[in-house]
Amino acid sequence: MNATGQGSTGNSAAGDGAGRTVVWAVVGTDIGPLLLAATDTGLVNVVFHASSAVRDSAVARLGSRLGTAPAEAPDSPLLAEPVRQLKAYFSGERRDFELPLDWSLISGFNRQVLRELASGVPFGTVVGYGDLAGRVGQPQAAQAVGVAMGANPLPVVVPCHRVVESDGGIGGFGGGLETKRQLLALEGVLPQPLF
């Protein structure tokens, strides 16, 4: 299954956590620690810069949105493949993610845009905000695409770092511009930083 999550309905509603498993772990990467969270459906959340304070806030927010307390479980089978694939991505051995995704943290236009991004903007390429808006049939919605990128619960795996300004500017990024530069350099879009 690819990172578009095709085949995963992700229909679990926030607040409908009865019997739902949510696990998380922090993984060290070249761009700093990432918090990964998964449900029985698939990877549900990736959080940048997962220091203790960021981690605690993200876990609390995730529990509130999914209606069940996430459990720290670095050895969970639900996280094994996401961890393996992220490590392979950062080591240059993987270009595409093939993971089931749980889309329950996002809906509507934002979900539509993120699914198009995941399936239609491959490793080593970029797309403009307006171009991505056009791909989902809303050519005047470049600003709304920016909002969708900022709301992306699955950065790196759903590659919002590949969305840039049409004039060649790098654009914004929830993980910080330096992190966006590092990801684009890893993919060969930008030169590697000298320092």
Report, as residue numbers or ranges, the catalytic residues: 160
For residue 84, the tally of other CB atoms under 10 A from its CB is: 12
For residue 31, the tally of other CB atoms under 10 A from its CB is: 20
- Calculate ∠ Cα 63-68-71, nearest 5°: 75
Q: Is the dihedral of CA 74, 79, 80, 82 positive or negative?
A: negative
Report CA-CA distances (Å) from 49 to 9, 139, 171.
29, 33, 19
Alpha helices in 28-174 (DSSP H): 52-66, 77-90, 108-120, 129-135, 142-150
Dihedrals φ, ψ of 31, to 5°? -105, 15
* 50, 2 contact by CB (below 8 A): no
